[in-house]
Structure 1
Amino acid sequence: MTGLALPPLAVQPEHRPVAPDRRRERPRLYAVDGIRLLAALMVAVHHYAGTRRVDQPHNRIWDRPVSDIMPSVFHVAAYGWIGVEIFFVISGFVICMSCWGRTPRQFFVSRVIRLYPAYWFAVLFTTATLAAVPGVWERLRLRDVLLNLTMLQSGQGVPNVDGVYWTLWSELRFYLLFLVVVAMGLTYRRVVVFCCVWGAAAMLAPVADLPLLTLFADPEAAWYFIAGLALYLMHRFGQDLLLWGILGMAWLMGQKELGRRIDEVEHVGSWRGAVLIFTVFLLVMVAVALGRTDRIRWRWLVTAGSLTYPLYLMHYAAGTALISRLRDDLDARLLVALVLAGFLVLSLLVHRFVERPMAGQVKRGLETAFARRRNAEARGTGG
């Protein structure tokens, strides 16, 4: 899940023949911005009022089961974790769209400036908040906090400053794999082959007993990203039986993974409810891919989408710590609403005063570095 900005679609020449009306430039996908924010809010409400953790007696956040405090909210919020799977699907869609026609260098720069500025702020903000409001989460050692700034802590076996960062590890592995296709040049056939090869690896990994294969294949998340890639190919080239087959396989593998996550991780909600929500989401994304939502052009959705990534990064550990301090002073539903509203405002401020300025500075710095490298190589060749 990365809260990625959606650039206008620029169509490039392809190896696969397509109908002329499918090659015209489409408008910005405002609907996807709205879906991303909805997914982030689902995850946040789940963490505040729908996890097994908050439904235990004497839990550190509410002190008593949240299903006793606000039962109706709990039963709905219990399914909010599916927002993460929604993020992964959207990430596959958006990354494929934003990388079309780009070089590996451009892909690398775009990912760095999109991921790191808000993430650096979130790591420092959460660390400071947990120091100021102790008692809910354990504080990490300084060395571990510093390593978190790399976003590579999961590869080192180091805990995350905030538990939600686990999804970034899946995102980074997806980017690394997809970079191979970007380097070759994105075409319909290459993306389809990538989906098939990655999907096969993800299916084999659980029984292959090869840690390296499992690490790169990421079977827990792979099929959600693959679904997003297939949906983007539908958006760009139109639907066909092959893409429907890939999407269908992604749904079948996804429903299995949803059940595993309920049984082994979440322990709330039901498989049927989770599959229903995921299926409805995929159908909405099919509508987006086939242009059925192109009439949605509410510009406020662009701002809404820009809040998604900072909100996701900051809401969990800091938000639950605040709830633990304020739970006895406010109505529980009002408290959840106020904490969410506060983090939405903070996310807007982070986007405007941290993400955008820092992204520009980092981009200029990276482009200068790459330009110097090219000039040095040119001088070396000339010599």
Structure 2
Amino acid sequence: MPGIRAARAAGRPGGAPRLYALDGIRITAALVVVLYHYVGLNTAWGRNTSEIFPALRPFALFGWLGVEIFFIVSGFVICMSVWGRTVGDFAVSRVSRLFPAYWTGVILTAATLWALPEVAKLRHFDDWNAVLVNLTMLQGGVGVGHVDHSYWTLFVELKFYALFALVVMCGVTYRNCVLFCGIWTLAAVAAPTTDFRLLHFFAMPQYAPYFIAGIAFYLMRRFRPTMLLWGIVAVQFLVAQHYVRGRMETNLGRNLADQLSTWPARVVIALGFLAIAAVALGLLDRIQWRWLSTAGAITYPLYLIHMSIGITLIHHFRDRVDPAPLLASVTVGMLIAAYLIHRLVERPLTKRLRDGMRAGIQDIRLNTPLPASRAPRPRVPAQPTDSDRDPVPARQT
């Protein structure tokens, strides 16, 4: 099949075109999350948004599923990016990629909530000490509130990176990735049945299916689709269905979730799986729209700044501007701000942070003696042979 051959060629180092389709999926997922926070929730408007956006709200209510799509993309991209890298390389790439925009998002969000503290529900942190803890991205592990509630997904991502670092330590191979998918699946299935909190903490049963499916999809792209890999994806899709109702209750509240059917959520999840499957099979490789690379690049800063800042702005101007123009202007404003963060903060600071971390990793390597089993053996001079000591002319025949 030409599409599969192209996909396998694209998975090889040095021959991989940019996957613009992934950028398109990412920005689409980000925008539906924005729609959920601005229209699906009533927080910004102070009244039921079904009165304001009656046609848009039924779609916006399921915008939280963009997070699940993000997790599939993350599994795909992380598996793709770590091939042939060391743990140090992996740590440098993740820290330098995540933190410059994140620090900016925390500072801007905290400043906005301090200047316009009118939406009480957005004050998820107690004081400025919590803001300092948020700068580490570890607040989810120490019980400190998020400056922006959407940051909870970042701690889930960090746990995924910690788990996948084990694969990097063992060597990123086809076999090790498949074993990782199998072991994580077993852990995620077992975690809800035990009282072992650490297992539940890292196994992340609700979200593991999406990361694991993303890894399997990348293995399809790098090598070829097999019944084993399709089986992994199918199991993850079916397991994910178990948590749909719970995720609806978490995002919409039990009363509203009970009034809605789960099938729209299941359809969105299926579409997400199908979209990444199309990328894995090379079916979307003809999409080469260069503007998508910019759209994909601003996805992360958009996610970081859109919720609390955007809701506060809508709340502040809701009595002065009509709803539709206000919604559009705040959304466009968030996109522009995300682009500025990408160009003015992410690009320069990521390079500096990456260079500094690489120097630190190199210093560790230079000052860490290798184990005896890995240390180079001293070269022993070759012992002279008898012919070296007493050369004998060749026998004449």
RMSD between aligned residues: 2.0
Choose 265-274 or 325-334, whichever is displaced more. 265-274
Residue in 1 that maps onto 2:111: 128
Residue in 1 that maps onto 2:138: 152
- Work out the CA distance in 2 between the residues paired with 1:340 and 1:22: 35
8 Å contact 2:49–2:57 — kept in the other structure?
Answer: yes
- Work out the CA distance in 2 between the residues paired with 1:100 and 1:348: 29
Q: Secondary structure at the match of 2:242?
A: helix
Residue in 2 that maps onto 1:37: 27
Residue in 2 that maps onto 1:10: none
One-letter amino acid of the counterpart of residue 197, structure 1: I
Residue in 1 that maps onto 2:326: 335
CA 1:67/1:172 → structure 2, altered by over 3 Å: closer, same or farther?
Answer: same
Q: Deviations over 1:334-377 (max 9, x none)?
A: 21111110010000000011011111111111122222233334
- Work out the CA distance in 1 between the residues paired with 2:10 and 2:129: 55
Q: Secondary structure at the match of 2:51?
A: helix
CA 1:21/1:172 → structure 2, altered by over 3 Å: closer, same or farther?
Answer: closer
- Work out the CA distance in 1 between the residues paired with 2:368 and 2:72: 40
1:84 aligns with 2:70: no
Q: Secondary structure at the match of 2:85?
A: coil
Residue in 2 that maps onto 1:14: none
Residue in 1 that maps onto 2:245: 259
8 Å contact 1:101–1:186 — kept in the other structure?
Answer: yes
1:67 aligns with 2:50: yes
Residue in 1 that maps onto 2:294: 303
One-letter amino acid of the counterpart of residue 131, structure 1: W
Please give the residue correspondences for 1:106-255 in structure 2 after superposition, counting only pairs within 5 Å. Answer: 106-136=89-119, 137-138=122-123, 140-255=126-241
8 Å contact 2:10–2:17 — kept in the other structure?
Answer: no
Q: Deviations over 1:118-159 (max 9, x none)?
A: 000000000000111112132531111100000000100000
- Work out the CA distance in 1 between the residues paired with 2:9 and 2:328: 48
1:286 aligns with 2:277: yes
- Work out the CA distance in 2 between the residues paired with 1:131 and 1:98: 38
Q: Secondary structure at the match of 1:93?
A: helix
Cα distance, 1:111 vs structure 2: 0.2
- Work out the CA distance in 2 between the residues paired with 1:21 and 1:119: 31
- Structure 2 runs not aligned, ≥5 long: 1-7, 377-397
- Work out the CA distance in 2 between the residues paired with 1:111 and 1:173: 12
CA 1:22/1:310 → structure 2, altered by over 3 Å: closer, same or farther?
Answer: closer
- Work out the CA distance in 1 between the residues paired with 2:163 and 2:97: 18
8 Å contact 1:262–1:270 — kept in the other structure?
Answer: no
Please give the residue correspondences for 1:314-329 in structure 2 after superposition, counting only pairs within 5 Å. Answer: 314-329=305-320
- Work out the CA distance in 1 between the residues paired with 2:366 and 2:231: 47
- Work out the CA distance in 2 between the residues paired with 1:284 and 1:184: 30
- Structure 1 runs not aligned, ≥5 long: 1-18, 55-59
Q: Secondary structure at the match of 2:244?
A: helix
**What TM-score do you get using the length of structure 2 for normalisation?**
0.86
**What TM-score do you get using the length of structure 1 for normalisation?**
0.89
Cα distance, 1:21 vs structure 2: 9.4
Q: Deviations over 1:312-342 (max 9, x none)?
A: 0100011101110111122212211111100
CA 1:22/1:35 → structure 2, altered by over 3 Å: closer, same or farther?
Answer: closer
8 Å contact 2:40–2:61 — kept in the other structure?
Answer: yes
- Work out the CA distance in 1 between the residues paired with 2:266 and 2:367: 55
8 Å contact 2:27–2:295 — kept in the other structure?
Answer: yes
- Work out the CA distance in 2 between the residues paired with 1:144 and 1:355: 24
Q: Quick check: which has more Rg, 1 or 2?
A: 2
Cα distance, 1:22 vs structure 2: 7.3
Residue in 2 that maps onto 1:12: none
Q: Indicate the percent of aligned positions where both proteins have the same amino acid.
A: 48
